[in-house]
A and B are shown apart, each in its own frame.
Chain A
Amino acid sequence: MSANDADADVPDEATESPPSEGERKKGVPRDPSRAVGGTALAEPKPPSFLATTGAKLLAALMAPLSELGALAKMLGQVFFWGLRPPYRGRIFIHCMEYVGVQSIFIVGITGFFVGAVLGLQLVNGFRDLGVESQTGSVVGFALSREIGPVFTALMVSSRAGSAMTTELGSMRVTNQIDALITMAVNPVQYLVVPRVVAGLFMVPILTIFFDVIGMTGAWLVCTKLLGLDSGVFLDRMRWIVDWKDVNLGLTKAAVFGVTVCLIACRQGFYAKGGAAGVGQATNRSVVHNAIAILLLDYLVTGIVLGEGLG
């Protein structure tokens, strides 16, 4: 029994209208079928402790799998509906603006300080080894291959991803997604595709931005505050960072971009349980994204470098 199966007999929140004031005042029982309809007449025996624990354990093990299945299904739908007309240019641009342009500030700020502190730490650590001249190379290497894409994706997840989940989730619980269907507009095509595509393009672009700002931050701290030679710093950086590193970074960024938006949309799209449910979905969206980013980071690195995967 997966978590989804367990939900099956609970009415879907999206279909079930909340008990209204009027209903309660009139004293109409919420669900008389339970009382008179002949369902569940005999009180079921409470299951044993062992059985419940076992079921819970199994559900906990199955949950990630069923979640992966749901994500795969949604990715398939995104492909299917993404390729079909109509193409809604305005919405794509709006989503790009939302994911990309509106994340510039937070990505810039974090990029600058991550670069700066990296420079500070490296110079301080390398000084003892007498290799502080290598700071530029390590900064460039780390930012372009690793820190840039991961940090950017985490920032986009917590800024744009969480907002996406909230938006789609509240659309779900207020029947707006159903309304789209009744107006013969496919909700995956209309809502999910443009967001995932925005992630695919904007996260790599933001990553480049993060790298540049981060390297600038490191360069400023190392040369202006810690007295490293600017020429050496830049020379080392140029020597070590080549296309391969940038490529690896951007590949990761693209993978993260799709993942972040897909997870965010999936959580919102299938949210249930009213406003509280949307809150939980947003929470899950950020947590799942953080896990997915770090997990995929290792996987993609392993695949591209061809080692480390056992």
Chain B
Amino acid sequence: MGVREWFDSFTGASADELRRVDPKILADPVHVRVRDVHKSYGPHHVLKGLSFDIARGKTNVIIGPSGSGKTVLMRQLIRLEKPDSGQILVNERDFVALDGMELDAMRRTMGMVFQMSALFDSMSVFENVAFPLREHTKMSQKEIRERVMDRLESLGIGHAWSKSPAELSGGMQKRVAVARSLVLETDILIYDEPTTGLDPITTCTVDELIAEAEEKFGVTSIVISHDMASVFRIADRITFMYFGEVQASGTPRELLESLNKPTMEFILASGVSRDLIDGRRND
């Protein structure tokens, strides 16, 4: 192995190989299969054997009352933490079992939009979006500039490229965060409560943003939310979580049939005992 190859083996240029996926798998409508995922913090059993599917190229919403483990699940999905047991199959590869370079290669196919956007505030908008390219590709300055401006413009924030993140509104910051997540060849984009704490108008623009990202870049979106109103507006598929367990999962229609909407709203508004849901489902 030459010095160059040795170097590349760390910078990940050769890791692109790992990401190549069989076209047959790409035709599978299920992108991610979560199977029996458990996670505890000490005695606190937060995720109690979750299983559900994420549909390819669709908006998948994970919803549930506060404290039901949505953020914890998100941290497992992107492997900020490792589940205690279970599988997360992304394109039929078990993400949980991966390590080292393979894990990093896999991570680069996933993007994460944090609740507070988590932009690097020491860098300009442009540098934020260019960051993954500088870290993981060998693009020239010109190529980087083109790619970054393309992403920024297609998300409607081309004019803000030289600003610092602190100068932007919450909605615009979210756009930059999406641009940064999409700048590599991203397949999956995870949003943690993208609309919590935003005003209704910004909420709408964020909903549009999610749809836009999906249309323009063909990504699979996973949206974690407890905003019922926006869920039914954007979701192609809903997974309803209740204290570490999946209560129902399917298209909004399927979900409404198994649990009617007022029930869900009621549950979310008051956090009443789960007997109610169980009762409904057994009807």
Residues of chain A whose beta carbon lies under 8 Å from any beta carbon of chain B: 8-9, 11, 15-17, 20-23, 26-37, 39, 84-86, 167, 170-171, 174-176, 178-179, 181-185
Contacts and interface: CB of A to CB of B under 8 A. Distances in A.
Interface string B87-118: 00000000000000001110110111011101
A33 B243 contact: yes
Contact of B271 (A32, A175, A176, A181): A32
Given A21-B197, A32-B271, A37-B243, A15 B65 contact: no
Interface of B: 6-7, 10-12, 41-44, 65-68, 71-72, 75, 78, 80, 103-105, 107-108, 110-112, 114-116, 118-122, 131-132, 135-136, 192-193, 196-198, 226-227, 243, 268-274
Given A29-B66, A84-B10, A184 B104 contact: yes
A182 B107 contact: yes
Interface majority SS (helix, strand, loop, mixed), chain A: loop
B197 A28 contact: no
Contacts of B131: 183
The 5 closest A-B pairs by CB, nearest first: A32-B271, A20-B197, A184-B104, A175-B118, A179-B118
Contacts of A175: 114-116, 118
Nearest to A39: B44
B42 A183 contact: no
A36 B274 CA distance: 8
6 contacts: A8-B42, A9-B42, A32-B66, A167-B122, A176-B118, A179-B112
Given A9-B42, A184-B104, 11 more contacts: A27-B269, A29-B66, A33-B67, A34-B67, A86-B135, A175-B118, A178-B80, A179-B112, A183-B132, A183-B135, A184-B107
Nearest to B10: A85
A260 to B, nearest CB: 21
A179 B114 contact: yes
A32 B64 CA distance: 11
Contact of A28 (B111, B243, B271): B271
A239 to B, nearest CB: 49
Interface majority SS (helix, strand, loop, mixed), chain B: loop
A94 to B, nearest CB: 10
A86 B11 contact: yes
Contacts, number: 112
Given A85-B7, A184-B107, A31 B66 contact: yes
Contacts of A21: 197
B104 A9 contact: no
A28 B114 contact: no
A182 B78 contact: yes
A36 B107 contact: no
Nearest to B227: A22
B12 A184 contact: yes
B147 to A, nearest CB: 15
Contact of A86 (B10, B108, B111, B269): B10
A31 B72 CA distance: 14
Contacts of A171: 120
Contacts of B44: 9, 39
Tell me which of B71, B120, B271, B273 has the highest count of chain A C-beta atoms within 10 A of its own C-beta: B271
B77 to A, nearest CB: 10
Contact of A35 (B119, B227, B269, B271): B271
Nearest to A20: B197
B271 A17 contact: no
A15 B10 contact: no
A167 to B, nearest CB: 8
A252 to B, nearest CB: 32
A179 B107 CA distance: 11
A276 to B, nearest CB: 16
Contact of A8 (B41, B78, B80, B105): B41
A32 B135 contact: no
Contact of B111 (A11, A20, A174, A182): A182
B80 A181 contact: yes
Contacts of A167: 122
Contact of B114 (A35, A86, A170, A178): A178
Contact of A178 (B10, B118, B243): B118
Contact of A15 (B72, B118, B120, B121): B72
Given A15-B75, A23-B66, A32-B66, A184 B136 contact: yes
A26 B268 CA distance: 10
Given A9-B44, A22-B197, A182-B110, A30 B11 contact: no
Contacts of B227: 22
Tell me which of A20, A37, A178, A183 has the highest count of chain B C-beta atoms within 10 A of its own C-beta: A183
B78 to A, nearest CB: 5
A195 B6 CA distance: 25
